[in-house]
């Protein structure tokens, strides 16, 4: 990023924040992998205190958007502001839940230890986590309902439990904005419900959640605000006004026909179509 | 045969067989298995010495081939336990086998006529004086015979199994479905690799054989997409490394095998930088051109958006001095870069500057944006 | 206490130190799946060592160390550059760097040896290591470097852990992961330099990977793993040094590698939870149990077909059930008889009272599960036998009770055979019937 504009962004002292400013503000953001654009000229504002879904087909740049906001990828153009200031200033305001497959779960460490990693960023160099930090981490495990698994080695956890560990680690970061990459991917129904409750709790506390989400069936049900992305920003806004057939068509292109077919099937099944009911409730 | 010619011919044989086998190692992402085998054949060679009591080529090849297969088997065993990743499995297996070899040689130094340093970096310079006897008659350098036979074997293997090797390399699943037995091909390849390595061992040593195995194929891989051509180029680079290396070694009065490895590295460096499609320069140029195109497009897009009356939030800070300053801040680009791009676009007649210093899209610019937009931003899913 | 010569003492100290430091750093290489990076760095360091010697003309530790560090880092950078800017994969890049840098090193080495003063350089000892040439001054330098490595790991422990486990998360929490990665590479090169004289370029990789891989099998905690790996590495170093001091013509480096390899094999086989032997044993126990339960069930079912359990079931009928050989059935029957679940009578076998209870419970599980599959999952009755065969050995009593309640306490399975009750006297246990019958007859 241009040093001059960064300085402009950061003129105000740390911690000061105008409540009317959006949680995330993105301008003219273009990101390319080698020479292939992944995100093209994205302008976006995400409101504070809401559950926000980033939705789009595979390869649409959803994870890239998240990673760029978090400073893990450098954009070609554009900048990102978190609550009105640069990421550098707002590091301690954000938390991150990466995709579950992004780490080696056979790593020799316990669930509690992973959660404690959420505190490393604020702990400072050379300081070891102490008892109060472990207590805090235990509380976070409690919030996701797996305090009893604290000493378990992480490979001995189920997929849903591993996802909960990641969420607990983000909770330990005690952030204003939570960025989550596919938090519902590959988890069991119970965990899905627990995660949803957790997100709602976060919202009730006035925090913001920005999540990449892949399941179109549940987007409208789980989230308040949606960002439809396919390399370019297709639409963004409150769920009811934005999550429309037309916008989805523009996001998913030709694929949506397959998708709507699947959705219709599902709806028909829910409505009690006898063809899909065989063996379900006899 | 003069010594120099003998050294060159032996070096060429080694380089050619390594270059052929190496192509499949590089393509199958098994370069490090080649490294492992090249170390792990040492105990096989030492045992062959001890058991046969001579430097009988047949038992040597047999011992080394056996150990090569044992290495592959042990590495796979380690990975299959799911307690070790493949890298760790290789990293524990070959040092252990190599150590056994070193100890065998050290313990039975009297019986084993092997110099440990030769094991590492070979001494091809002695090759001409170590003659092969049939009864009483000397039939030329031993190394020449061994490596010549190996080259013939490797050449025959690659020719006969070309189709199988190609298919199992690029699509093991399909190969298995068509009944090509990828596992068998794999073990055959490993066996050939072991034989190649044992031949190369004496002349270039355990580690430099890795250079011969990996570097020329890697160099060739940056120049072509076709397997046949890659094999040819790989052999050419191997031979070039051998000959140039020999010259460099003579000039520096240093190890011939080391110089061959060094030259192969230099050849790779040249190709790495200058290869037409996959080279660094080509890549950077392409990236730069595309990056510039992307930047121009972005600026046009931005100006078009402003013209269309999109709300343009001004970043925090002082009011921008002029329009360019505003855009520069929004893009987080240095102003100089933006000016250069704007200048190019004005020269092309796609942008013009209005009286109040604002950038405005011309009609040409609008249609260019339309065209380019469709070109770069072809919908990834609409195809 | 063993008396040690001056040389042997130096070797012992050097080998132990290297083992400890290599063990610690090896853990990070192992967990980051970069085990062979250490190998590449060790080989890449050789030209640096030679250059250091060429520039200063003496084998003083500092220039050699700086040379190795520079060349090692350059090697690491080359690997990164090849992977990033070409279509070659990491394994090829590692193979190229280690062999080409080594080749350059050999060229320099042979060049140096032909210089007028070069023959005494002793640089060639770095290839295989020559622990016997370790001098107290070398040990001082090695100790300093080792201390530097250990202190750095201790200071940055939590950051390095995060780097190994989840670097993206670390970067998102604002930690400079790229710089930590560089630090890790510097530490690895430092270990390489520590090990050059003791085990040599080629075997350094084993002092890194082997103790770490062994330690990993014993624990699920990174801290413990590092300590254990250090202990294993140090122990292997010490033992290797002692062995090679006691036994003639036994080079130090290879012996150290073999000692730690042996420790690794033992660990892979015997470590409490991850040991392969235990897994094998558990498998075998499971197979044994399944065979026993199958025989009990077969006896029950055959008795049921025959209309009672009083008469012994002949071997031939048992063999017909699963196509098992007489020998197989015989060995299972013997173990059941030892536990008092089965009686053998001429040419056949018969369930005892307790054997009958056990068999009845297994049959119950089997038939309940068959019923569940047909009723709840709509599977055809002739398809469920196999699944039930597998489930009858694993269903717990609680699960069976829940299953029964869910199915509404059924009495017959999908094939129309009765589902035996858990308790109760009907049908009466065969032994009792048999005894009663025998009593009546006499």
Q: Interface pTM (ipTM) of the complex?
A: 0.85
Q: Which residue of A has its CA nearest to B313?
A: A27
Which of the 8 DSSP states describes residue C151?
H
Lowest mean pLDDT among A46-60, C144-158, C194-208, C426-440: C426-440
| Closest C-alpha among B166, B287, B178, B290 to residue B228 | B166
Integer Cα distance of B101 and B89 in angstroms: 19
Q: In chain A, positions 109-128, which contact chain B (CB-CB < 8 Å)?
A: none
Where does residue B228 rank: exposed (0-12), middle (13-18), buried (19+ CB within 10 A)?
exposed
Q: Best mutation site among A12, A28, A34, A229 for testing chain B: the one with the most B CBs within 10 Å?
A: A28
pLDDT at B188 over 50: yes
> Which residues in chain A are contacts of C166 at CB distance < 8 A?
98, 102-103, 117
3-state secondary structure chain B: CCHHHHHHHHHHHHHHHHHHHHHHHHHCCCHHHHHHHHHHHHHHHHHHHHHHCCCCHHHHHHHHHHHHHHHHHHHHHHHHCCCCCHHHHHHHHHHHHHHHHHHHHHHCCCCCCCCHHHHHHCCHHHHHHCEEEECCEEEEEHHHHHHHHHHHHHHHHHHHCHHHHHHHHHCHHHHHHCCCCHHHHHHHHHHHHHHHHHHHHHHHCCCHHHHHHHHHHHHHHCCCCCHHHHHHHHHHHHHHHHHHHHHHHHHHCCCHHHHHHHHHHHHHHHHHHHCCCCCHHHHHHHHHHHHHHHHHHHHHHHHHHHHCCCCCCCCCCCCCCCHHHHHHHHHCCCHHHHHHHHHHHHHCCCEEECCCCCEEECHHHHHHHHHHHHHHCCCCCCC
Nearest CA distance, B368 vs chain A (angstrom): 17
- Which range among A100-109, B146-155, B221-230, C299-308 shows the weakest confidence by mean pLDDT? C299-308
Touching B (3+ Cβ pairs <8 A), the chains are: A, C
A72 token code pair: 């893990």
C33 in the Ramachandran plot: left (φ > 0), alpha (ψ -120 to 50) or beta?
Answer: left
| Residue C308's pLDDT band (cuts 50, 70, 90) | confident
* CB contact (8 A) between residue A79 and residue B332: yes
Do the beta carbons of residue C21 and residue C232 sit within 8 Å? no
* Residue C208: per-residue pLDDT: 94
Distance CA B26, CA B212 (A): 12
Which residue of B102, B121, B222 is in closest CB contact with C251? B102
Q: Does B376 touch chain A (CB under 8 A)?
A: yes
Å between A77 CA and nearest CA of chain C = 20
Contact state of C108 with B210 under an 8 Å Cβ cutoff:
no
Q: Determine the residue of chain A that is closest to B316 in CA distance.
A: A9
Q: Which distant-in-sequence residues (6+ apart) come within 8 Å of B111 by Cβ? A: B49, B50, B53
Q: Which residues in A lie closer than 8 A to residue C33 (C-beta atoms)?
A: 104
Residue C285 forms contact with B (CB below 8 Å): no
Predicted local confidence at residue C255, as pLDDT: 93
- Lowest pLDDT segment from A4-8, A222-226, C319-323: A4-8
Inter-chain CB proximity A98 and C166 less than 8 Å: yes
| pLDDT at res. B263 | 95
Q: Which of C31, C173, C375 sits opposite A107 (nearest CB)?
A: C31
B91·C205 Cβ contact <8 A: yes
Taking the C-alpha atoms of residue C126 and residue C251, their distance in angstroms, rounded to an integer, is 13
Closest CA to C304 of C351, C373, C353, C354: C351
pLDDT in tens, C317-375: 777 777 777 777 788 888 888 888 888 877 788 888 888 888 888 888 888 888 888 87
Residues of C within 8 A of A70 (CB-CB) are 171-172
C-beta atoms of C104 and B29 within 8 A: no
Q: Does C434 touch chain B if contact means CB atoms closer than 8 Å? A: no
Mean pLDDT, rounded, for B34-60: 82
**Segment A126-154 mean pLDDT:** 91
Contact C264 B117 (CB under 8 A): no
Contact: A279, C220; criterion CB under 8 Å: no
* pLDDT of A4 over the 50 cut: no
Min distance B141 CA to chain A CA atoms (Å): 52
Q: What is the Cα–Cα distance from C146 to C21, expressed in whole angstroms?
A: 6
Q: Residue A172 pLDDT > 90, yes or no? A: yes
Full-model pTM: 0.82
Alpha-carbon distance A70 to A67, whole Å? 5
Query: Which tokens in the block code for residue B217?
Result: 């194929």
Q: What is the 3-state secondary structure (H, E, C) of B87-135?
A: HHHHHHHHHHHHHHHHHHHHHCCCCCCCCHHHHHHCCHHHHHHCEEEEC
With an 8 Å Cβ cutoff, is B135 touching chain A? no
Question: How far does Cα C85 stand from its chain's mean position?
Answer: 36
**C39–chain B Cβ distance below 8 A for any pair:** yes
CB contact under 8 A, B376 and A84: no
Nearest CA in chain C to B84: C213
Cβ pair C36:B272 closer than 8 A:
no
Interface mutation target, options B91, B100, B108, B286, chain C, most CBs of C under 10 Å:
B91
| B382 close contact with A: CB closer than 8 A | yes
Residue B284 sits at the chain A interface (C-beta within 8 Å):
no
User: Which residues, in sequence order, are CB contacts of A140 under 8 Å at separation 6+?
Assistant: A115, A118, A168, A169, A171, A172
How far apart are the C-alpha atoms of A199 and A143, rounded to whole Å?
11
Cα separation, C400 vs C390, whole angstroms: 14
As a whole number of angstroms, the distance between CA A109 and CA A144 comes to: 19
Q: What is the pLDDT of residues B57-75, one digit of tens each?
A: 778 778 888 888 899 899 9
* Interface list for C 79-98 with B (CB within 8 A): 82, 85-89, 91-92, 94-96, 98
Say whether residue B381 is in contact with chain A using an 8 A CB cutoff: yes
Under the banding of pLDDT at 50, 70 and 90, the label for residue B24 is: very high
- Would the pLDDT of A11 be above 60? no
Q: Which two tokens stand for residue A142?
A: 């409690």
Residue A244 has pLDDT above 70, yes or no: yes
User: Between chains, do A128 and C378 touch, taking CB under 8 Å as contact?
Assistant: no
What mean pLDDT, rounded, does chain B reach?
82
Cβ pair C172:A114 closer than 8 A? no
- Tell me which of A68, A77, A228 to substitute to probe the interface with B (most B C-beta atoms closer than 10 Å): A77
Residue C165 has what pLDDT?
Answer: 95
Q: Is A11 helix (H, G, I), strand (E, B) or coil?
A: coil
Residue A272 confidence class, pLDDT cut points 50, 70, 90: very low
Nearest to B381 among A2, A30, A254 (CB): A254
- pLDDT category at A127 given cuts 50, 70, 90 is confident
User: Three-state SS for A9?
Assistant: helix
Q: Which among C19-23, C400-404, C408-412 has the top mean pLDDT?
A: C19-23
Which H or E element spans position C348?
strand C348-351
Neighbours of A (≥3 Cβ pairs closer than 8 A)?
Answer: B, C
Rounded to a whole number, what is the distance in Å from the CA of A230 to chain C's nearest CA? 24
Residue of chain A minimizing CA distance to C213:
A108
Which residues fall within 8 angstroms of residue C222, CB to CB, at 6 or more apart?
A107, A108, A109, A113, C27, C31, C161, C164
Residues of chain C neighbouring A92 (CB-CB closer than 8 A): 174
Tell me which chain B residues have a C-beta less than 8 angstroms from the C-beta of A34.
287
Is residue C437's pLDDT more than 90? no
DSSP for residue C418: B
Q: Pick C220's closest partner by Cβ from A117, A123, A153.
A: A153
Residue of A8, A35, A231 lying closest to B291 (CB–CB): A35
Distance (Å, whole) CA B256 – CA B14: 13
CB contact under 8 A, B380 and A59: yes
| Exposure letters C98-119 (e unless 16+ CB within 10 A, then b) | bbbbbbbbbbbbbbbbeeeebe
Burial class (CB in 10 A: 0-12, 13-18, 19+), C196: buried
The pLDDT-based confidence of A108 (bands split at 50, 70, 90) is very high
Minimal Cα–Cα distance from C176 to chain B, Å? Answer: 22
Task: Determine contact: C251 vs chain B, CB below 8 A.
Answer: yes
Tell me which residues of chain A, numbers 173 to 232, contact chain C at a CB-CB cutoff of 8 Å: 173, 179
Residues of chain C with Cβ-Cβ distance to A35 below 8 Å are none
Of C158, C166, C375, the CB nearest to A128: C158
- For residue A123, list chain C residues with Cβ-Cβ distance below 8 A: 158
> How confident is the model at residue C438, as a pLDDT?
42
């Amino acid at each position: 990023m241009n040093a001059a504009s960064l300085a402009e962004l950061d003129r105000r002292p740390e911690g000061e924040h105008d409540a009317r400013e959006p949680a995330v503000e993105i301008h003219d953001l273009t990101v390319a992998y080698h020479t292939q654009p992944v995100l093209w000229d994205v302008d976006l504002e995400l409101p504070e205190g809401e559950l926000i879904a980033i939705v789009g087909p595979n390869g649409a740049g959803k994870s890239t958007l998240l990673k760029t906001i978090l400073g893990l990828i450098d954009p070609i153009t554009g900048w990102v502001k978190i609550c009105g200031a640069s990421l550098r200033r707002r590091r301690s305001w954000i938390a991150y839940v990466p995709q579950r497959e992004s780490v080696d779960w056979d790593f020799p460490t316990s669930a509690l230890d992973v959660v404690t990693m959420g505190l490393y960023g604020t702990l400072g160099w050379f300081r070891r986590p102490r008892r109060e930090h472990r207590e805090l981490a235990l509380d976070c495990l409690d919030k996701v309902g797996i305090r009893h698994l604290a000493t378990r080695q992480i490979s001995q956890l189920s997929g849903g439990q591993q996802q909960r560990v990641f969420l607990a680690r983000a909770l330990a970061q005690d952030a204003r904005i939570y960025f989550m990459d596919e938090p519902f991917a590959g988890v069991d129904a119970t965990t899905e419900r627990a995660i949803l409750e957790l997100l709602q709790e976060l919202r009730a506390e006035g925090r913001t959640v920005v999540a990449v989400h892949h399941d179109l069936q549940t987007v409208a049900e789980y989230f308040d605000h949606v960002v439809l992305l396919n390399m370019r920003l297709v639409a963004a806004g409150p769920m009811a006004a934005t999550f429309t057939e037309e916008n989805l068509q523009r996001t998913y292109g030709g694929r949506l026909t397959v998708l709507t077919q699947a959705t219709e099937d599902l709806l028909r099944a829910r409505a009690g179509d006898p063809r899909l009911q065989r063996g379900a409730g006899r | 045969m003069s010594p120099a010619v003998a050294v060159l011919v032996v070096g060429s044989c080694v380089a050619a067989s390594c270059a052929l086998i190496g192509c499949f190692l590089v393509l199958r992402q098994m370069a490090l298995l080649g490294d492992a085998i090249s170390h792990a054949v040492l105990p096989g060679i030492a045992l062959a010495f001890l058991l046969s009591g001579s430097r009988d080529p047949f038992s040597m090849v047999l011992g080394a081939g056996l150990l090569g297969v044992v290495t592959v088997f042990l590495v796979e065993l380690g990975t299959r336990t799911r307690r070790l990743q493949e890298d760790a499995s290789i990293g524990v297996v070959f040092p252990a086998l190599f150590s056994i070899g070193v100890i065998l040689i050290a313990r039975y130094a009297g019986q084993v006529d092997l110099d440990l340093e030769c094991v590492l970096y070979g001494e091809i310079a002695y090759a001409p004086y170590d003659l092969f006897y049939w009864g009483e008659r000397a039939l030329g350098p031993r190394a020449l015979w061994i490596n010549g036979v190996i080259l013939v074997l490797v050449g025959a293997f690659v020719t006969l199994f070309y189709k199988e090797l190609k298919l199992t390399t690029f699509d093991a699943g399909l190969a298995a479905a068509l009944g090509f037995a990828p596992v068998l091909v794999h073990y055959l390849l490993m066996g050939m690799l072991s034989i190649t390595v044992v031949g190369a061992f004496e002349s270039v040593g355990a580690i430099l054989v890795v250079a011969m195995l990996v570097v020329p194929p890697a160099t060739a891989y940056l120049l072509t997409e076709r397997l046949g051509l890659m094999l040819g180029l790989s052999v050419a680079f191997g031979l070039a490394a051998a000959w140039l290396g020999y010259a460099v070694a003579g000039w520096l009065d240093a190890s011939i095998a080391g110089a061959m490895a060094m030259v192969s590295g230099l050849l790779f460096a040249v190709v790495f930088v200058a290869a037409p499609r996959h080279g660094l320069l080509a890549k950077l140029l392409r990236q730069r051109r595309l990056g510039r195109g992307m930047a121009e497009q972005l600026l046009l897009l931005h100006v078009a958006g402003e013209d269309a009356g999109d709300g343009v939030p001004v970043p925090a800070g002082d009011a921008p001095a002029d329009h360019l300053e505003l855009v520069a801040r929004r893009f987080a680009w240095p102003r100089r870069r933006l000016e250069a791009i704007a200048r190019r676009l004005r020269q092309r007649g796609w942008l013009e500057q209005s009286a109040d210093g604002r950038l405005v899209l011309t009609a040409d610019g609008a249609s260019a944006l339309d065209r380019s937009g469709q070109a770069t931003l072809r919908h990834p899913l609409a195809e | 206490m063993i008396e040690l010569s001056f040389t042997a003492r130096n070797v012992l100290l050097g080998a132990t130190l290297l083992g400890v430091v290599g063990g610690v750093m090896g853990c990070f290489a192992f967990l980051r799946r970069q085990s062979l990076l250490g190998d590449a760095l060790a080989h890449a360091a050789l030209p640096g060592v030679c250059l250091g010697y060429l520039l200063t003309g003496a084998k003083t530790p500092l220039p050699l160390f700086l040379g190795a560090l520079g060349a090692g880092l350059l090697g690491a950078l080359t690997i990164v550059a090849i992977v990033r800017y070409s279509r070659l994969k990491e394994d090829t890049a590692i193979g190229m760097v280690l062999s080409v840098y080594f080749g350059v090193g050999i060229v320099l080495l042979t060049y140096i040896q032909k210089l007028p003063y070069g023959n005494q350089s002793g640089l060639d000892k770095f290839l295989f290591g020559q622990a016997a040439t370790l001098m107290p001054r070398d040990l001082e330098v090695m100790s300093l470097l080792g201390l530097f490595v250990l202190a750095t790991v201790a200071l940055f422990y939590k950051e390095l852990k995060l780097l190994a486990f989840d670097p993206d998360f670390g970067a998102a929490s604002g930690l400079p992961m790229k710089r930590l990665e560089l630090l890790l590479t510097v530490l690895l090169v430092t270990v390489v330099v520590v090990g050059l004289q003791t085990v040599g370029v080629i075997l350094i990789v084993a002092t890194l990977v082997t103790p770490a891989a062994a330690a990993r099998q014993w624990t699920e905690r990174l801290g413990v793993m590092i300590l254990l790996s250090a202990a294993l590495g140090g122990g292997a170093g010490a033992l290797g040094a002692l062995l090679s001091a006691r036994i003639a013509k036994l080079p130090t480096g290879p012996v150290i590698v073999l000692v730690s390899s042996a420790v690794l094999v033992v660990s892979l086989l015997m470590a409490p939870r991850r040991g392969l032997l235990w897994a094998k044993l558990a498998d075998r126990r499971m197979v044994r149990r399944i065979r026993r339960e199958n025989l009990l069930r077969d006896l029950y079912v055959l008795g049921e077909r025959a209309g009672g359990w009083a008469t012994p079931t002949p071997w031939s009928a048992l063999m017909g059930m699963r196509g098992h050989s007489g020998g197989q059935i015989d060995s299972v029957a013997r173990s059941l008889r030892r536990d008092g679940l089965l009686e053998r009578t001429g040419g056949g076998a018969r369930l005892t009272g307790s054997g009958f209870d056990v068999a009845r419970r297994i049959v119950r599980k089997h038939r309940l599960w068959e019923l569940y599959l047909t009723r709840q999952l709509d599977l055809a009755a002739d398809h469920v036998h196999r699944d039930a065969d597998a489930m009858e050995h694993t269903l717990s009593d609680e699960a069976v009770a829940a299953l029964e309640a869910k199915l509404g306490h059924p009495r017959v399975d999908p094939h129309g055979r009765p589902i035996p009750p858990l308790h109760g006297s009907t049908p009466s246990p065969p032994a009792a019937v048999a005894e009663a019958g025998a009593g009546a007859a006499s």
